[in-house]
Amino acid sequence: MRRRDFLALTLGTLGAVGCAAIRESSVKTRSGSLAKAQYPLPPARSIEPPAQNPAAISDEEQARLNALEEEEIANNILEDGIGAQGATPKDHLTITQNVGALKPIVAEGKEFELLKATFDRLNAVQKHIGFGNFNVISFDAMISVAKASKPVGAFTEDELEYLEKLFFRDAKEYGFFGSKVTDKLTESIAQKEIFKVPRTGHYLYQGQAAKVYESVKKDIGDTIVMTSGVRGVPKQFHLFLAKTLECKGDYSEASHSLAPAGYSYHGIGDFDVGKVGYGEKNFTQEFAKTKEYEKLMQLGYIAIRYPRGNPYGVYFEPWHVEVV
Ligand SMILES: [Zn+2]
């Protein structure tokens, strides 16, 4: 019998999942300079290291753009729900699994220090280029941005090796049994294939994802909104490492509520939705109690990527819409 057959996740009715909550504060404290010239990002433009365009924008214009982005994201429910899944006690959750077959993988000692340093650097890149741009930046562009920015500073060899190691590790070792959606660490997202959804700080793929979201908005109305869209490899690293830090270095526990980089369907089309004004609860089981969720399920054309009792080693995510 394969290991996945041993794994079953069962949730109580109030169950929210994941490790203790921390909130991302990067959007509010962002203070990058050069990269602001890139925001808001027109769909047809490629994301290149901003250092190539240093003097393109005045301080006033930059302040105006910052305010615009702040306003956009403030109107949104939440940046991306890091930590939200841990917002209610974990004892509502029961995981049964063959413990002999799956020993948690935990970063300790030097590796934990490297995890923290790498997360800090990713976080600094996000602050520097802005939340929206960071959602879709490629690994290579991220490296260039860091190198060109004094406040961020270049990724060290150790940090890059660490990210590479994480990317190519088989996530089944963590107890995560979803498919890998990209084998390419340096995968880049073609700007012409995506567009920015107003007032969310997030992007969607043209085509099926856009069609599904448009239909959902039309059928449910203004009380439902996208809470996370397209995410490139660096963004997924950022989220996964944030979650792993909350879990005190436990990659296995983190992977039950956040796909490791390369394994997220946000990379190829899936998106999350939430109820307007519902805050962090949108990324908890509480979302399943809302009218919006009820309506979503009644539409008939919506599938949830990680339903209750799914075989992927992932907690129930009522907010995550399957597109691909
Ligand atoms: Zn999601």
**DSSP 3-state assignment of 60?**
helix
Contact 232, 265 (CB under 8 A): no
E-only strand ranges, the chain? 8-11, 93-96, 194-197, 202-205, 224-228, 271-275, 303-304, 320-322
Angular region, 251: left φ>0, alpha ψ -120 to 50, beta rest: alpha
Beta-carbon contacts of 43 under 8 Å, excluding residues fewer than 6 positions away, are 191, 192, 194, 195, 196
**55 C-alpha to ligand 1 centroid (Å):** 37
pLDDT of residue 150: 92
**33 C-alpha to ligand 1 centroid (Å):** 30
pLDDT of residue 11: 29
**pLDDT, block means (10 residues), the chain with 324 residues:** 34 45 33 33 38 44 56 49 43 38 90 98 94 95 96 97 98 92 96 92 96 97 95 97 96 94 97 93 94 97 92 91 95
**252 C-alpha to ligand 1 centroid (Å):** 18
pTM, to two decimals: 0.77
pLDDT of residue 37: 31
Give the domain range for residue 273. 3-322
pLDDT of residue 308: 87
Q: What is the CATH number of the domain that holds 136?
A: 3.30.1380.10
Ion ligand 1 neighbours (CB, 5 A) are 272, 320
**319 C-alpha to ligand 1 centroid (Å):** 7
Beta-carbon contacts of 99 under 8 Å, excluding residues fewer than 6 positions away, are none
**234 C-alpha to ligand 1 centroid (Å):** 15
pLDDT of residue 60: 56
**272 C-alpha to ligand 1 centroid (Å):** 5
**273 C-alpha to ligand 1 centroid (Å):** 8
pLDDT of residue 200: 86
**70 C-alpha to ligand 1 centroid (Å):** 22
**6 C-alpha to ligand 1 centroid (Å):** 25
Quote the tokens at residue 235: 């963004």
**258 C-alpha to ligand 1 centroid (Å):** 8
pLDDT of residue 72: 55
The total domain count for the chain is 1
**305 C-alpha to ligand 1 centroid (Å):** 8
**310 C-alpha to ligand 1 centroid (Å):** 15
**277 C-alpha to ligand 1 centroid (Å):** 18
Strands of the sheet with 271-275, listed across from one edge: 224-228, 271-275, 320-322, 303-304
**215 C-alpha to ligand 1 centroid (Å):** 18
**81 C-alpha to ligand 1 centroid (Å):** 9
